Structure formats: structure tokens, C-alpha cells
Amino acid sequence: MHKNSRRGFMGKAFGAVAGVGAVGSLVAMKKSWDPLPSVKAAGFTTLDMTIYPEGELITEKWRGKPIFVLKKTAEMIEKQTEGQKARSIKVGDSQFMLCIGLCTHLGCIPGYNPKEEAFLCACHGGRFDWSGQVTHTPPPRGFDIPPFKIEGNKMILGEVGPEYQAMKDSGITL
Ligand code: FES
């Protein structure tokens, strides 16, 4: 008796859900872009940092977000400003710019122009230099840097290592 009435309730509940299916599917589509909390908790990505070519922007993915990786050229290292140096990540003998590739204004994905060594966000004209510092508003700050831990020549995204903690403590990333 109890089981039957429960089944009846479930049937009604399912019917109600099916009734709003059209709206629900739109919500579901949006939700499917965001990882589940359980996936987030286990969301580590390990990058082998030896494979990146110098001066070429490569886009990786971490927890569904684009991750920009740029291995600095010798020229970039030589001419970098203190601000650019502060955002630098050293792995082995190489230096990298690595950040979440989402504009800090409203979340568009900016494009990289290697000739200008700059990122341009087409949504509202925000600009960033090659190191991820904002150079033209409306973005309120430079690109955010994901939590990372360095292990030999590898970077583990999603884990907090001392280099990331230092960047966070000094306000380089949120
Ligand atoms: Fe990039 Fe507005 S979302 S400038």
C-alpha cells in the first residue's frame, strides 16, 4: 500500500517534470556546461609542461574552463616588467603565463594576437597584455590564475602549491 502510493506520487512528480520539460531542457543545457560539485571536487588536470612551444598560445581545459598556456620566449623574459614577472610561473628551466582564459569583465573568451602579444576581448573591447595583465578596461583585473601545484616538469591544476599560494596572498589572483 505504502509502495503503491509512493509510486503514484512519483508518477505525478514525473508528470509535472515532463510538463515543464521544454523550459527544463534549457536549464539542463546550461547546467550541463557547469561541472557537478562532485566532479569539481575531483577536478584535477595534470599538464606536462615540456610539450609547449615558445611564444605560442595553447588552450587547455580545466573544470570546463579554457586555460591559456603561453611558454615565454627569451625575448619576453628579457623585456618583461615587474608586473609581468610577478605573474610568471617557473617550471623547470622554462617560464610560463598560465591563466583561466575568461575575461574578468563578463566572462567572454578573449582572442590572442601574437603580433601585438595581446589578448583582445571582442565583447566590450577589454585588452590584456601577453602576461594576462589588464591594459584596457572594462575588465576590472587581469586574468585569474587557477590553483596549481608544480611537480617536476608537471603542473597539477586544481591543487594548491606554495607558488600559487604566494600569488594569491600577494593579490595577483583572486
Ligand atoms: Fe570582456 Fe566585457 S566580457 S570586455
User: What is the CA(138)–ligand 1 centre distance, in A?
Assistant: 7
pLDDT in tens, 61-96: 999 999 999 999 999 999 999 999 999 999 999 999
The answer to whether the Cα torsion of 129, 133, 135, 139 is positive or negative is positive
Instruction: Output DSSP code: residue 54.
Output: B
In a domain, 65, yes or no: yes
Range of the domain at 11: 2-33
Q: Residue 121: CB within 6 Å of ligand 1?
A: yes
Q: Residue 43: CB within 6 Å of ligand 1?
A: no
In a domain, 127, yes or no: yes
Q: In which residue are the cell numbers 543545457 written? A: 29
Angle at 105 between CA 130 and CA 99, to 5 degrees: 40
Instruction: Output DSSP code: residue 141.
Output: S
Q: Residue 126: CB within 6 Å of ligand 1?
A: yes
Same-domain check for residues 27 and 87: no
pTM of structure: 0.76
